[in-house]
Amino acid sequence: MQLSDSDAVGLGALAMRHLGEHGRVLVTSARSSIRLRRAEPCPDTDTRSRFGGTALLPPGHAWPATDAGKPLSFLAQVSTADVQEPAGIPPLPADAVLAFFYEADEQEGWGFDPGDRQFSAVISAPAAEAVAVAPPPGAMAFRAYRMLPQVVMTIPDHGEPALDQVEADYSVFKRLYDDLDLGDKAPWHRMFGWPELVQNPMQLECQLASNGIYVGGPEGYRHPRAAELARGAADWLLLLQLDTDDAVGWMWGDTGTLYYWIRRDDLLAARFDRTWMIFQCC
């Protein structure tokens, strides 16, 4: 959940008022995030951070597609020169562009099934070598808008494991959240920090599904390997959150959000082919 600047300053007093001594847990769980504001339209091949436009890829890199050969749609580009990672986050590759893709036509991949990896992709290219690649037939295209990064503060939503030790039901958190003005209105496009949840926390889902366990129902969490694998769930970081955005032409289900996650070690090694995407909507 994103805070306004004033709420970030007053978070401690607000948390203590609603949660008592447990408010300290909320305060210590706060994380910096990079808000990605949609600004004015820009050239389709702009080398800076942008939503939509034309993908810039490594020379000779194939356009990503599903196992059936359906091309994914290019959604956004992050120039690492534009982004300063929050404290505690492994550095992004220097002077690179990250291209984010999803099967935006049928919106098939939701991240519950181990086979859903085929429906999204993140491709990194050195900025000086990246070449513009026109989308193949069948890929959706979106108008290009400049992306303006801004540091904001986020706190975990009720239900996140980080707040498990807080003895307060949802109604208490609801009153606390109602007292926050949350800064600007949606869309909330962000990198790092806590996600803006539409449904439930996702790190455990990423950990299990990426390791071959279907989590579309409760049986996945009872899998013989689930408890062992769960210990690695906290290693997943929110790489990018793309909200529904009418101006760009994005409607994810019923006003939903796409979340691209990556393990800390994979980010450190720039292994963006190992990202895992979760789709949530109302």
Has this prediction a pTM greater than 0.95?
yes
Q: Averaged in consecutive runs of 10 residues, what is the pLDDT profile of the chain (282 residues)?
A: 88 92 94 97 97 98 97 98 94 97 96 97 98 96 97 93 90 88 80 96 98 96 96 97 97 97 98 98 94
Q: Are 192 and 31 in contact (CB under 8 A)?
A: yes
Residue-level pLDDT at 177: 86
CB 50 within 8 A of CB 77: yes
* Rounded distance between C-alpha atoms, residue 182 and residue 256, angstroms: 18
Q: For position 171, what pLDDT does the model report? A: 92
Structure tokens given for 139: 């890929």
Rounded distance, CA 179 to CA 232, Å? Answer: 34
Ordered alpha helix ranges (H), the chain: 5-9, 11-19, 23-29, 170-178, 203-209, 226-230, 264-268
Q: What is the pLDDT of residue 24?
A: 94
Q: Report all structural domains of the chain as residue ranges with CATH numbers, in order of start.
A: 2-280 (2.30.320.10)
What is residue 81's predicted lDDT score, i.e. its pLDDT? 96
Task: Let me know: does 80 contact 109? Beta carbons within 8 Å.
Answer: no
Are 214 and 225 a contacting pair, CB within 8 Å? no
